[in-house]
Amino acid sequence: MRLLTAQPPIALALTLAVASCSGEAPVDPPRSIDASLAADAVDARGAPEVSTEVTRGAAVFRRYCASCHGARGAGTGDGPDLRREVPSSPDAEIQRILREGGRMMPMVPIDDAQRADVFAWLRATFGAYEEP
């Protein structure tokens, strides 16, 4: 009779090897993404599609922005309600605020790729610019 021995999962070993070589601090993956993130994006089966940029943007928002704007962007005493601000702001204005900060918002220490991801999340979550 032959005994089977347990082998370490190769996928786990590869994941750990790649993660340790990336040289970047890990970003927490989003715990969950609201269906509102992709309410208008639906694939052929009717399932919501959420882009990678939107997923990463949700994680960056949660880490750097939610403390002032709230977990769902509804605002707090320290940050405005993004449900109102984002649809009423042109893309260039949102991108400038993400890059430089705003009225009371300090500049956030994120790179250009993270800013693009947050912008994608903001538009996917709160909608496109609605010209007055």
Dump pLDDT digits (tens) for 72-90: 999 998 999 999 999 999 9
- pLDDT confidence bin for 45, thresholds 50/70/90: low
Question: How many other CB atoms are found less than 10 A from the CB of residue 78?
Answer: 11
Q: What is the pLDDT of residue 132?
A: 79
Q: What is the pLDDT of residue 49?
A: 66
Q: What residue ranges do the domains of the chain occupy?
A: 41-132
Asked whether residue 28 carries a pLDDT value surpassing 60, the answer given is no
- Contact partners, residue 102, CB within 8 Å, separation at least 6: none
Question: How many other CB atoms are found less than 10 A from the CB of residue 97?
Answer: 18
Give the whole-angstrom CA distance, residue 113 versus residue 27. 13
Asked whether residue 44 carries a pLDDT value surpassing 60, the answer given is no
- pLDDT confidence bin for 123, thresholds 50/70/90: very high
Give the whole-angstrom CA distance, residue 61 versus residue 49. 19
Q: What is the pLDDT of residue 47?
A: 53
**Whether 69 contacts 82, CB under 8 Å:** yes
Q: Which CATH superfamily is domain 41-132 in?
A: Cytochrome c-like domain (1.10.760.10)
